[in-house]
Amino acid sequence: MKIDIKKITTFLACFLIIVFTVSVINTDNKTVETSSTGVISTKKIEWGIKRGENHNQPNLGEENKRIIDKYNGISMGNSEKKYIYLTFDCGYEAGYTEKILEVLRQHDVKATFFITGHYLNSSPELVKQMIDDGHIIGNHTPNFLMSGSIGGTLMTL
């Protein structure tokens, strides 16, 4: 199967512009409780990377790498092989995700979807579809979200 990088790049650029535009227009200032703060550490850990030199992988920082490894997280790909990682940031559903999932399914392509608490609360059926289709779900929320507990109610996807 031949992948047309130019078409994928154009599609991703258009998608990101549309998602950004819609999310700016449709911002909702409601607060959504996503977890019980009594169980969560309040220690603030800054996230960032130090760019690698000579096309080497970036440095995640010792503390970040320790936490990622502790919870079997995914942070770096294989530096010996050439891969393209397709990722999506999902904060608000603007009606495009179902079509994106359909296109990914048609081409047997897996992606990573970084979702927010709002997205999980408002579109659990799409998150379940992402999981059922074999995609990776990442946390894109300031507070720990992926514990399975939302507002005291256990989420089962």
The pLDDT tens digits for 92-114 are 788 899 999 999 999 999 999 99
> What's the confidence (pLDDT) of residue 104?
96
Report how many domains make up the chain: 1
Task: Say what the alpha-carbon torsion angle 145, 126, 47, 65 is, to the nearest 10 degrees.
Answer: 80
Taking the C-alpha atoms of residue 152 and residue 157, their distance in angstroms, rounded to an integer, is: 16
Q: Is residue 128 part of a domain?
A: yes
For 20-64, the pLDDT digits (tens) are 666 666 555 555 555 555 566 777 777 666 777 887 888 888 888
Which residue did the predictor score with more confidence, 66 or 156?
66
Q: What is the CATH number of the domain that holds 95?
A: 3.20.20.370
Model pTM score: 0.53
Q: Specify the DSSP class assigned to residue 51.
A: P
* 114 assigned to some structural domain: yes
Strands ordered across the beta sheet of 112-115: 87-90, 112-115, 136-139
Tell me the pLDDT of the chain averaged across its residues: 76
97 is a domain residue? yes
Q: Which amino acid is at 48?
A: G
Q: Examine residue 102 and state whether it is found in any structural domain, yes or no.
A: yes
**CA distances in angstroms from 114 to 62, 86, 90, 119, 126, listed in the order given:** 23, 11, 6, 10, 13
Q: What percent of the chain has pLDDT over 70?
A: 71
- pLDDT the model gives residue 35: 56
Q: Is residue 105 part of a domain?
A: yes
pLDDT surpasses 70 at 65 = yes
